[in-house]
Amino acid sequence: MHSASLFIQIGAIILGLSVLGRLAARMGMSPIPLYLLGGLAFGHGGVLSLSESDDFISVGADIGVILLLLLLGLEYNAKELVGNLRAGTPAGLVDFLLNATPGFVAGLLLGFEPVGCIALAGVTWISSSGVIAKVLRDLGRLGNRETPTILSVLVLEDLAMALYLPILTALLAGVGLLGGSITVLIAVGTIAVVLFVALRHGQVVSKALSSEEPEFLLLGVLGLTVLVAGLADKLQVSAAVGAFLVGIAISDEVAEHAQEVLAPLRDLFAAVFFVFFGLSTDPADLPPVLLPALALAVATTLTKIATGYWAARRAGIAKPGRYRAGGALVARGEFSIVIAGLAVAAGTDTRLGPLATAYVLILVIAGPLTARFAEPVMRRLFGPKPAPRRTYTDEHDLDLLP
């Protein structure tokens, strides 16, 4: 049996999440920033360390990301995904150029080795699918016209990770070109197989999982999702991508029922994910790298907004939707930390870990705010100006009055 202190800490964390969520609701904002700050206060180096519950929170955080991406995938079907990916490829290239370049240049300015610069480019490039999925749901925007554009950018980024992570790992380990190429081919093949099953046999998958009993539907969908996510991760493909592809493979009424039964579970573990991010950050490591992280965060906030604006304009979406798309893409999260962790474990510059942590912490707090306020702020700054009021000063002007 586990110690009583484990249950006390887990209960206190969940109860604290409830309080923070209620506070955020009263303030009319997403609870994500409060979850993160709460984790930061009670993590390693914080006010109080919750070391007994580390393993539970770590696993719960992984499940939270998987569930966030699963339910995001349930909003769409395989044909919509493929269509969005084809249409969104140019936006994916713009996204890479605008957002990876600042990280690479910053690495050069800070004196990192080339492989460290490549790692920092990945940190600044990839948005957080988990955070953004949560924010879109909190703001009630899953049905908005710009959401498929946001989704296509996120999915292209996650799929690109299936190529980027094996290449980065090979560079960090000094593996030859052949070994790195084999890993990349396995990753691409895995994605192709799952997409083929989703497109051609999605109805079979839905029928196999369908059940009138919510309990059996919950167990079937959750079990399949975690299994596929684990296999995807084993094959060097993102577990989040695997979960998302399971979501799009399930369609029609089965997808609707699955959303209903899984939503409370997703909310619980998604909150644990954001707390885990704060818990794993030592506040003492942040001050020395705070200024470079802040400068990089400001620069890449602007480039992400530009990315979303360009992608949404190309999709024929009006200006308000373009600004919302750009603001929604700002948050960085799980992938950025994974990339930095790989680089630090391989012995790159010791500043990279704290820099990436401070950078992600800034943007994972700013992301929900830009998602909500980018559109009204940009509209006020760059929208059409009201016509100046005319003042009538002489008798001739008075004749012009209607």
Amino acid (one-letter) located at 67: L
Of 149, 138, 93, 156, the closest CA to residue 371 belongs to 138
Question: Which class is 55-142+149-380 in CATH?
Answer: mainly alpha
Instruction: List, for residues 370-388, the tens digit of each pLDDT value.
Output: 998 888 887 787 766 555 5
Answer whether 0.85 is exceeded by the pTM: no
350 vs 313: which has the higher pLDDT: 313
Check pLDDT > 70 for residue 81. Answer: no
- Give the pLDDT of residue 398: 44
Tokens 């300015």, residue?
109
pLDDT cut 70: percent of the chain above it: 81
Centre a 10 Å sphere on the Cβ of residue 291 and count the other Cβ atoms it contains.
Answer: 10
- Please state, in angstroms and as integers, the Cα–Cα distance from residue 360 to each residue in 145, 190, 265, 270, following that order: 28, 29, 25, 17
Q: Tokens in use for 38?
A: 């709460």
53 vs 123: which has the higher pLDDT: 123
- Give the pLDDT of residue 177: 54
Each residue of 330-342: b (16+ CB within 10 Å) or e? bbbbbbbbbbbbb
239 vs 116: which has the higher pLDDT: 116
Check pLDDT > 70 for residue 254. Answer: yes
- Give the pLDDT of residue 84: 64
pLDDT cut 90: percent of the chain above it: 19
Residue 392: which pLDDT band, with cuts at 50, 70 and 90?
very low
Check pLDDT > 90 for residue 51. Answer: no
57 vs 113: which has the higher pLDDT: 113
Instruction: List, for residues 348-358, the tens digit of each pLDDT value.
Output: 877 888 898 88
393 vs 222: which has the higher pLDDT: 222
Least-confidence region, from 120-129, 305-314, 371-380, 383-392: 383-392
Measured between alpha carbons, how far is 277 from 364 in angstroms, rounded to an integer?
A: 10
- Give the pLDDT of residue 390: 54
Instruction: List, for residues 166-189, the tens digit of each pLDDT value.
Output: 677 777 766 555 555 676 677 677
Check pLDDT > 80 for residue 124. Answer: yes
Most confident of 7-11, 77-81, 196-200: 7-11
107 vs 384: which has the higher pLDDT: 107
